[in-house]
Structure 1
């Protein structure tokens, strides 16, 4: 073969590899609550006119929402064995609450893509829970090579020096539903942003590490926000602002009548200070 053709082919391959290595890439992983609960609707329907009647103590289930595609579930976003520890972070927000009798971690494999409330009803009966916290994930990883990146072609592959600007953004949302009435109760978000740089050869390794770190950080943020939202939810019911939700204790006493005492305490200045302390801790953690 003509040596000139071989040289030209090698140079072309090196050029294509250089272009590919310096092309920004975006990886998106999403599991949508709307796609799961309301697969055939553009928006959530109007609330159930009958509303929800919650009898304390509650039996609560927690699960990750599956993605729309049956070939990709939220487990594909995580390292093996990571799903349960992440759900445990949410579980801690409800642990030791006097109004929660039991908490079940439901594997996401039991939730079908586009399963809707029919699937949710089945899962709730299987695990014996009456309230479900559904956790959805939206994670985007964007790789944008810096202008000073240099591609080094070695015998074992391409390396880009000094590195790429890798940005991992994670948003996690927990929505809590009363299963029998299909009534939405409350929601809380959690988010994180992880930045870093790596050589091209180690980019995928770092992105996987950042993905796991972003999930853990976002779940920790979610737990803080969830604690505040639960306190707000209790206060709204006690003040009569949630007309669609009635909460009663074992004796049938309404939360509105008791002022919150049958829900784990009253809603005076002590609870307000507790909520403020949680917010203050979250702000200090973000600044540090």
Structure 2
């Protein structure tokens, strides 16, 4: 009985805290990404004089997943890049090998690039013979709110059975290409992934939904990057773009 009395106030606080949808702070998320990838906005590397620059093929592509601190925001989350998530992006790019666009993909390990500066990124890239470096970063957000079934939560058993909690998750992934051979920054790519789950308040977890959104963002980003690299290669060869 004592545990039930203790649980009731907790449920009431939970209901009041997430009773309505607040949406996503997209402006704050993009601002956080800009702060974390500010290195790409400096004068090193140089901006390409055109919106895109043709690539020589096949290229040796390096990928660095950014892990830097930024001012904390309650509405913005930054997660760790797991090995499986890095491999997920690499898998999306493997189709470019058959197109003779990519020769090899190299993941720069965190100990290789301890601080995010142009000099250290270039030195690490030269060490591995990288032609083009891709800087990847991402932030996520979760909007947790309740639906009508949440009225059953105070019955205790309802907290385990009633699907009264809705979790919406958004993950924004940003990538910037740096052509080390010409020391120019190519066009960046941005992709989003969203996910939603509905369930009982004690059974659904924010982290699970955010991970699903992150995976969808990685898939979308990979597909977009593949098309972008193909377009840069077509510019070099002068081949016409495929009809859509």
Q: Same fold (TM over 0.5)?
A: yes
Aligned to 1:94: 96
Deviations 1:228-270 (A, max 9, x none): 22233345xx4xxxxxxxxxxxxxxxx4xxxx0xxxxx412xx
Aligned to 1:35: 35
Aligned to 1:199: 200
- CA-based RMSD of the aligned residues comes to 4.1
Aligned to 1:121: 122
Map of 1:119-158 to 2, 5 A cutoff?
119-150=120-151, 151-152=153-154, 154=156
Map of 1:13-32 to 2, 5 A cutoff?
14-24=8-18
Aligned to 1:267: 239
Map of 1:67-106 to 2, 5 A cutoff?
67-68=68-69, 76-77=79-80, 81-106=83-108
Matches of 1:104 and 1:132, distance apart in 2: 9
Contact 1:56 1:100 in 2 (8 A): yes
Deviations 1:133-185 (A, max 9, x none): 11111211110122541324659xx6583321110112212221113554211
| Structure with bigger gyration radius | 1
Cα distance change on mapping 1:50 and 1:234 into 2, 3 Å: closer
Local SS of the residue matching 2:17: coil
Cα distance change on mapping 1:96 and 1:272 into 2, 3 Å: same
Aligned to 2:164: 163
Matches of 1:140 and 1:130, distance apart in 2: 34
Contact 1:75 1:83 in 2 (8 A): no
TM-score normalised to the size of structure 1? 0.62
Aligned to 2:74: none
Q: Which residue of the other structure, out of 46, 49, 54, is the alignment partner of 1:48?
A: 46
Number of residue-to-residue matches in the alignment: 229
Aligned to 1:184: 185
Structure number with higher relative contact order (C-alpha < 8 Å, ≥ 6 residues apart): 2
Matches of 1:93 and 1:63, distance apart in 2: 20
Contact 2:171 2:217 in 1 (8 A): yes
Cα distance change on mapping 1:148 and 1:16 into 2, 3 Å: same
Structure with the largest fraction of strand: 1
Gaps of 5+ in 2: 71-76
Cα offset, 1:65, TM superposition: 1.6
